[in-house]
Chains A and B, each alone.
Chain A
Amino acid sequence: MTMGETIGGAGMGRPGDDGRFGDFGGRFMPEALVPACLELEAAFGQAWGDAGFRAELDALLRDYAGRPSPLTEARNLSERLGVRVLLKRDELNHTGSHKINNVLGQALLTRRMGKRRLVAETGAGQHGVATATAAALFGFDCIVYMGEVDVERQALNVFRMNLLGAEVRPVASGSRTLKDAINEALRDWVSSVETTHYCLGSVMGPHPYPWMVRELQRVIGDEARAQTAALLDGGIPDVVVACVGGGSNAAGIFAGFVDTDARLVGVQPEGGAAIGRGLPGVVHGSKSLLLQDEHGQVKEAHSVSAGLDYPGVGPEHAHLAVAGRAEYPTVADGAVLEAFQLLSRTEGIIPALEPAHALAWVMREAGRGIPSGSTVLVNLCGRGDKDAVEVMRLLKGDPGAGAGG
Chain B
Amino acid sequence: MTGRLEAELRRRRSEGAKLLVPYVTGGLSPDWTDVVQAVVAAGADAVEVGIPFSDPVMDGPTIQEASIRALARGTTPESILAELSRIDVGVPLVAMTYYNLAFRMGDLRFARSLAAAGVAGAILPDLPLEESGPWEAEAAAAGVETVLLAAPVTPDGRLAEIAGRSRGFVYGVSRMGVTGERASVAASAGVMAKRLKAVTDKPVLIGFGVSTPQQAVEVCAEADGVVVASALLRALLDGGGPEAAGDFVAGLREALDAG
Q: Cβ of B41: which chain A residues have Cβ within 8 Å of it?
A: none
The residue on A at minimum CB distance from B101 is A296
* A32:B71 contact, CB within 8 angstroms: no
The segment out of B171-179, B221-229, B237-245 that lies at the interface is B171-179
Q: What is the total number of residues of chain A having a CB less than 8 Å from a CB of chain B? A: 38
* B176:A194 contact, CB within 8 angstroms: yes
B13 to chain A: closest CB distance in Å? 24
Known: A28-B99, A283-B100. A174 touches B177 (CB 8 A): no
A209 to chain B: closest CB distance in Å? 15
Q: Cβ of A34: which chain B residues have Cβ within 8 Å of it?
A: 128-130, 154, 158
B209 to chain A: closest CB distance in Å? 11
* B125:A30 contact, CB within 8 angstroms: yes
Q: Cβ of B130: which chain A residues have Cβ within 8 Å of it?
A: 18, 26-27, 34
Q: Cβ of A282: which chain B residues have Cβ within 8 Å of it?
A: 98-100, 103, 126
* A183:B57 contact, CB within 8 angstroms: yes
* A30:B71 contact, CB within 8 angstroms: no
Complex interface residues of chain A between 271 and 299 (CB less than 8 A to chain B): 279-285, 287, 290, 292, 294-298
Q: How many angstroms from the CA of A194 to the CA of B152 in the assembled complex?
A: 11
Q: CB within 8 A of A296: which of B57, B104, B131, B150?
A: B104
B147 to chain A: closest CB distance in Å? 12
A103 to chain B: closest CB distance in Å? 22
Complex interface residues of chain B between 124 and 152 (CB less than 8 A to chain A): 125-131, 148-152
Complex interface residues of chain A between 163 and 206 (CB less than 8 A to chain B): 173-174, 179-180, 183, 186-187, 190-194
Q: Cβ of B98: which chain A residues have Cβ within 8 Å of it?
A: 282
The residue on A at minimum CB distance from B124 is A28
The residue on A at minimum CB distance from B79 is A295
Q: Cβ of A283: which chain B residues have Cβ within 8 Å of it?
A: 55, 100
Most chain A CB neighbours (cut-off 10 Å) among B101, B153, B177 = B153
Q: Cβ of A295: which chain B residues have Cβ within 8 Å of it?
A: 76-78, 101, 104-105
Q: CB within 8 A of A281: which of B56, B78, B104?
A: B104
Complex interface residues of chain B between 66 and 82 (CB less than 8 A to chain A): 68, 71, 76-78
A360 to chain B: closest CB distance in Å? 30
Q: Cβ of A26: which chain B residues have Cβ within 8 Å of it?
A: 130-131
Q: CB within 8 A of B149: which of A30, A173, A194, A296?
A: A30
* B100:A292 contact, CB within 8 angstroms: yes
Residue B54 interfacial (CB < 8 Å): yes
Complex interface residues of chain B between 87 and 106 (CB less than 8 A to chain A): 98-105
Residue A35 interfacial (CB < 8 Å): yes
Q: Cβ of A29: which chain B residues have Cβ within 8 Å of it?
A: 126, 128
Q: How many angstroms from the CA of A34 to the CA of B99 in the assembled complex?
A: 16
Known: A31-B162, A32-B176. A296 touches B151 (CB 8 A): no
Complex interface residues of chain A between 10 and 30 (CB less than 8 A to chain B): 18, 26-30
* B55:A191 contact, CB within 8 angstroms: no
Q: How many angstroms from the CA of A35 to the CA of B156 in the assembled complex?
A: 12
Q: How many angstroms from the CA of A183 to the CA of B60 in the assembled complex?
A: 10
Q: CB within 8 A of B100: which of A186, A190, A281?
A: A281
Q: Cβ of B176: which chain A residues have Cβ within 8 Å of it?
A: 32, 190-194
Q: How many angstroms from the CA of A95 to the CA of B56 in the assembled complex?
A: 32
A110 to chain B: closest CB distance in Å? 18
Complex interface residues of chain B between 176 and 226 (CB less than 8 A to chain A): 176-178
Q: Cβ of B149: which chain A residues have Cβ within 8 Å of it?
A: 30-31
* B128:A187 contact, CB within 8 angstroms: no
* A187:B54 contact, CB within 8 angstroms: no
Q: How many angstroms from the CA of A295 to the CA of B104 in the assembled complex?
A: 6
Q: Cβ of A194: which chain B residues have Cβ within 8 Å of it?
A: 153, 176
* B152:A32 contact, CB within 8 angstroms: yes
Q: Cβ of A35: which chain B residues have Cβ within 8 Å of it?
A: 153-155, 158
* A297:B54 contact, CB within 8 angstroms: yes
The residue on B at minimum CB distance from A300 is B54
The residue on A at minimum CB distance from B76 is A295
Q: How many angstroms from the CA of A18 to the CA of B178 in the assembled complex?
A: 26
* B57:A298 contact, CB within 8 angstroms: no
B100 to chain A: closest CB distance in Å? 4
* B162:A281 contact, CB within 8 angstroms: no
Instruction: Apart from A194-B176, A287-B103, list 13 A-B contacts with CB within 8 A.
Output: A28-B127, A29-B126, A30-B128, A31-B128, A32-B173, A34-B129, A34-B154, A191-B176, A281-B103, A283-B55, A284-B55, A295-B104, A296-B77
Chain B residues proximal to chain A, CB less than 8 Å:
53-58, 60, 64, 68, 71, 76-78, 98-105, 125-131, 148-155, 158, 162, 173, 176-178
8 A–B contacts, CB within 8 A, in A order: A31-B148, A32-B151, A174-B54, A280-B103, A281-B103, A296-B53, A296-B104, A298-B54
